Amino acid sequence: MKKIILSFVFAFVSIIAFAQSTWNVDPMHSSVNFNIKHMGISFVQGRFDKFEGNVVTPGAGLDNAKMSFLVDVNSINTGVEMRDTHLKSADFFAGEQFSAIKFQSISLTKGKNNMYTLKGNLTIKDVTKEISVPVTYGGIAKNQQGKEVMGFQTSFTVNRLDYNIKYDPTGAGVAKDVEVNLYFELVKQ
């Protein structure tokens, strides 16, 4: 009887372990973008060229997934080198001291159709705040190499002042709110 119970426990643990999948961000098919109003009349767009992350799913699809992402602050790219240098300085991201923007999920709740609500901790500089963002799940497919890939995207707004990015605190020249657009394709490991 003891052997039967141990066999059952081992089989159950094996099924759980194998049902869990890890998906890593494919940087060639993903992007981390932002958009911020300038002087109240126009917009500056930019992106971060270096980032990584993974999603751990307990089964098929995105349900109950755990997510973790890291963005290299010093890879900021607005297409203007002088502005990028300023954004890396203490006036904005303080890239020498705080080299990464971090996100760690807390929960992922399925809504209607392919929509989810993702809650997690966003860390920029020395501030961590809980945020809630909508996620559109694109599904799972096979790429040219026959590997499974998953896609999703999200768009949300953060107030930069909440994260100690205090340059121009009035928001007259550089707006307070930053629109963030993330597009991720992940490869199953």
By residue range, what is the domain housing residue 70? Answer: 21-188
Q: Does residue 3 lie in a domain region?
A: no
- Structural domain contains residue 6: no
Q: What is the mean pLDDT of the chain?
A: 92
Q: Among 17-31, 64-78, 166-180, which is the least confidently predicted range?
A: 17-31
Dihedral sign for Cα atoms in the order 163, 62, 30, 72: positive
Q: Classify residue 11: in a domain, yes or no.
A: no
Note whether residue 50 is domain-resident: yes
Q: What's the total number of domains in the chain?
A: 1
Q: How far apart are CA 23 and CA 188, in angstroms?
A: 4
Residue pair 121/129 in contact (Cβ under 8 Å)? The answer is: yes
Residue 63's pLDDT band (boundaries 50, 70, 90)?
A: confident
| CA separation for the pair 5, 29 (Å, rounded) | 46
Render pLDDT for 20-61 as a digit per residue (tens, 0 to 9). 999 999 999 999 999 999 999 999 999 999 999 999 999 877
CB within 8 Å of 34: residues ≥ 6 apart: 45, 46, 47, 178, 179, 180, 181
Domain assignment present for 4: no
Q: State the Cα–Cα distance between residues 36 and 29, nearest whole angstrom.
A: 23
Give a yes or no: residue 5 inside a domain: no
Q: How many residues does the chain have?
A: 189
In a domain, 10, yes or no: no
- pLDDT tens digit string along 108-159? 999 999 999 999 999 999 999 999 999 999 999 999 999 999 999 999 999 9
Q: Residue 32: which of 188, 187, 161, 179 has the closest Cα?
A: 179
Residue linked to tokens 């999200």? 154
Cβ(50)–Cβ(31) below 8 Å: no
Measuring CA to CA, which residue among 20, 69, 59, 62 is closest to residue 151? Answer: 62
In a domain, 15, yes or no: no
Please name the residues in contact with 152: beta carbons below 8 A apart, sequence gap of 6 or more: 62, 116, 135, 136, 137, 138, 184
Radius of gyration of the chain (CA): 20
Question: What is the pTM for the complete model shown?
Answer: 0.87
CATH code of the domain containing 181: 2.40.128.110
